[in-house]
Structure 1
Amino acid sequence: MLTNRSVDVAVITETRLNTNTRLNIRGYHIYRGDRLGRPGRGVAILVRKNVPHIPMPRLNIEPENLSIQLKDNTILRALYNNPRHVITNAEYDEMFSGPRTLVVGDLNARHVVWYNHRNNRNAPDTLTHYTFNRSRPTFLDIVVNKNYPHNQNPTTLTDLSSDRNPVLMSLSKTETHYLDRQIYDYRTTNWRTYRNYLNRTCVTRNTIQTRRDIDEQVHALTEAIIHARNITTEQKTIRQKEKRNP
């Protein structure tokens, strides 16, 4: 999924790894916050190797956390909060101590405002956690930002066979629009029909004496090639990004 979605930075919560477990993903730096003792919980940040960043010290707070600083000085924090722990105001102050901060992860913060069926004291349009029992699905994985002015557009994905849906977020200084464009798919071309049509249509005169004669012959050949393509090749629609200033 990281490769298919061209993910630059990934935050993983509840990794359930211990210090003896190896985790390597080609093309990514991996920062781990494993739970000491028995495996469980834990957080990790995966950063594509061509993304400039600096790892930062962990915060002295109860929720498990890791932090990196990006090239534009944005601090990205990965957090997992035990559902039995109520995050204090002092811990929130510590989380957002940087001038520009993104806090990402499972804060176990439930509230009916973002469509959970009940509130909790830690308190999106699509669910991030599905249960396989009679419990209701919930919105656990959230992104909270401080002074981050750019477009974020978070969406949930169904790429993984898990009870947790990944959340994909694009951070861009420009708003991204998409344009649909029709192109010819030459993998579908019937080349025999193409060749037969050109053989029947393109008859070159024996004598070409003037520039006008050359222009007429080139124009006729061009029109024949275009028509041969049109009758032998299917079209398909592709979606391209168009970046505009916000």
Structure 2
Amino acid sequence: TYGVDLALICETHLKTDQRFNISGHNIYRTDREHGKGGGTAVIIKDYLPHYRANINDTENLEATTISISTKTGHINFVAAYNPPSKILLKQDLDNITSSDNYFIGGDLNSKNTLWNSRITNRNGRILEEHANEAYYNIIAPDTPTYYPGNYLHRPDILDIILTNLKIMPDTLTVLQELDYDHNPLLCEWEALQRYLDIHTEQDIDAAIELFTTTLQETYKINTTISRKHHDFRIDHPELSYLLSLKREARRDWQRLRTPNERTRYNRLKAIVKRTVNQIRRTNFNTFVTDTATNMQKTCTITKVLKGTSKKSNTPAIHGKQGMAFSSLDKANAIALTLEDQFKPNPVHDQNFNRDVTRSVNDYIQRPITDLPAPITEQELQTTIKQLKLNKAPENGKVELEEVNPHLRGGRVENHLGKTIPSSPDRDLNLDLPVLSSRAQHESTETRWMKSQDISRSGKLISSIVQWGRGAVFCCLWCGSICSGFLLLYCPLLPLLFFHQRLFRRLTDIIFAAWEIYPASFMKELESKAWLPTPQPCTEHKSMCRLRKKESTTHLKDPLEQFDLDLLFTSG
């Protein structure tokens, strides 16, 4: 109706998964990613030469920018929206007013009496100061552009224009067209205005020649192939009559602000909405019926539904210097990326090579710290004896002085025979299982410490059934033996449970018990172990009788007469 070439839209309320297209126009959107509402968009006719400028959302300001190429230069058109809950920042205004020519329109929620608002708020004062510093004009209409839903609230001017172009306020017109609390603002101005100073006939001839030449050049440059434009307005007399009634009711409500006028306006708006939906359903059913009998229409609608009828715009590129929207900026961004990827090898530098060689030689010639002797069973036994009774390590930690000193640094020889640095964080350190076992079994250690006095006093705590097989030599000449299972009690069992990860063989466990508590171990072995009865052989019967008593005497070393490498089962 108004022949709009470019539209700046604020508060689109669109999400990234929602589609919005208008035939014959290009739409550039900046949707709000988090939260409801918000969003800006710019709609421009596709035959106008333009590109998307590199100005996006700032800290508090939502903006969408396109740049139109004209004969006198580029003009940036910005759709801006500042939420009412956020402060208008000067750095955001610097970002959108950084170009040479700009036209910024939208709802900045900035009120000031200088542009016909009722009051002046904080954002209005900030915008006034920035306009004086940056030398641009703030243009607003004479009538309100915002009508709140609550009739108790008064209308005001929120939609304004910031520009450094030669645009006068009388070019703005507020339209009473949309069913929204914000009325659209129409701006019309002459792109080229010439003021001629004519006094003589020669001046008239020169002006005519200048006008003719300018008109011809403009025609050659701006002539494009005409495209067929469809009129999408619904030709329905009843709907046109209802629309006129609704617009009249809207004007009355905005002028009188009474509840009756608002009720009348809402009722007519609902009637118009139902009528439009009914007409659309009827037209769609007719279109589907006609398409079923026409193959060309079927192919066309199939392409539209699949989204392959029109090639989508090339998306922006995020380069090293920021977002690239125009073709030139995209080409430069790709060139910079390829330049970084395909750089030649560095030029041969003698000083650099000399420094590298010196560093490598210093590292190779560095002396290697000798590895301390590995931990032994005797050291472990001594450490266990020195531990305090009834006290576990605090927070499951083990002091470094209790383990092999090479845990604190140095070098360890691995299974390949190579000497490598060692640290408590390396998996190659062979004493790490000692630390983990101590930390995991601190409660077991405490119980074992408490059980020492109990076991020494002769009380039976627990037993190991069939842990090994004892053998008594009956005959020293023929080597015949009698064997049987042994039954032992504490302190062997707690020691076994506590050190079951430290010792890999049963002989090591028995040896540790023998070395740490020899008296208690022998007492348990003598009183609780079941020794088999010797069975002398017939050939050396007399000899065996003589050796029988000697074979059952006190054992000095259990490792001499018992096969302790056998596996056991605990009862």
Query: For residues 136 and 60 of structure 1, what CA distance do their matches in structure 2 show?
Result: 31
Could you tell me which of 122, 142, 145 is aligned with 1:128? Answer: 145
> How far, CA to CA, are the matches of 2:57 and 2:64 in structure 1?
11
Question: CA deviation digits over 1:212-246, x for unaligned, max 9?
Answer: xxxxxxxxxxxxxxxxxxxxxxxxxxxxxxxxxxx
State the match for 2:84 in structure 1.
Answer: 83
Structure 2 residue corresponding to 1:6, chosen from 3, 7, 29: 3
What residue in structure 2 maps to residue 224 of structure 1? none
1:122 counterpart SS class:
helix
**What SS class does the counterpart of residue 71 from structure 1 fall into?**
strand
C-alpha distance in 2 between matches for 1:150 and 1:111: 20
| Per-residue deviation, 1:130 | 0.5
Aligned partners of 1:30, 1:20: CA distance in 2, in Å? 15
Q: Is the 8 A contact 1:34 1:41 kept in 2?
A: yes
Structure 2 SS opposite 1:65: strand
TM-score, length-normalised on structure 1? 0.65
Corresponding position: 1:17 with 2:35: no
Q: Is residue 54 of structure 1 aligned with residue 51 of structure 2?
A: yes
Equivalent pair of 1:150/1:173 in contact (CA under 8 Å): no
**Length, aligned pairs only:** 172
Amino acid at match of 1:10: A
How far is 1:127 from its partner? 1.0
- Displacement of 1:104: 0.8
What's the RMSD between the two structures over aligned residues? 1.9
Structure number with the higher strand fraction is: 1
**1:40 is matched by which residue type in structure 2?**
G
SS at match of 2:122: coil
Instruction: Answer yes or no: is the 8 Å Cα contact 1:24–1:30 preserved in 2.
Output: yes
Superposition map of 1:60-209 within 5 A: 61=58, 62-72=60-70, 73-123=74-124, 124-133=141-150, 134-146=152-164, 148-149=165-166, 153-174=171-192
- For residue 39 of structure 1, report the CA deviation from its aligned partner: 3.4
Distance in 2, Cα, partners of 1:125 & 1:158: 14
Using the size of structure 2 for normalisation, the TM-score is 0.29
How far apart, CA to CA, are the structure 1 residues paired with 2:116 and 2:161? Answer: 15
SS state of the match for residue 139, structure 1? Answer: coil
What are the equivalent positions in structure 2 for 1:27-46 lying under 5 Å apart?
27-46=24-43
Higher helix share: 2
CA distance in 2, matches of 1:38, 1:98: 30
User: In structure 1, how many angstroms separate the alpha carbons of the residues matched to 2:9 and 2:57?
Assistant: 20
Return the alpha-carbon distance in structure 2 between the equivalents of residues 83 and 173 of structure 1. 34
Alpha carbons 2:55, 2:96 under 8 Å: kept = no
C-alpha contact (below 8 Å) 1:18/1:39 kept by paired residues = no
1:89-135 Cα offsets, whole Å, 9 max, x none, are 22222111001111111111111222322211221201111112111
2: distance between equivalents of 1:151 and 1:48? 24
CA contact (8 A) 1:154 1:170 kept: yes
Q: 1:150 to 1:118 in 2, by over 3 A?
A: closer
Structure 1 residues 10 and 60, CA gap change in structure 2 (3 angstroms)? closer
Q: Which has the larger radius of gyration?
A: 2
Other-structure match for 1:189? none
Deviates more, 1:126-135 or 1:51-60: 51-60
Query: How far 1:57 moved relative to its partner?
Result: 2.2
CA contact 2:57–2:64 (8 Å) conserved in 1: no
Gaps of 5+ in 1: 176-246
Instruction: Check conservation: 1:42, 1:64, Cα contact below 8 A.
Output: yes
Contact 1:110 1:120 in 2 (8 A): yes
Q: Residue 117 of structure 1 contacts residue 136 of structure 1 at CA under 8 Å; is this kept in 2?
A: no
Query: 1:55 is matched by which residue type in structure 2?
Result: R
Instruction: State the 1:151 CA deviation.
Output: 5.6
Distance 1:102 1:117, change over 3 A: same
CA contact (8 A) 1:151 1:174 kept: no
1:156 offset after TM fit, Å? 0.7
Query: Greater relative contact order: 1 or 2 (C-alpha under 8 angstroms, separation 6 or more)?
Result: 1
Stretches of structure 2 lacking an aligned partner (at least 5 in a row):
125-140, 194-571
Residues 171 and 70 (structure 1), Cα distance of their counterparts in 2 relative to 1, 3 Å cut? farther
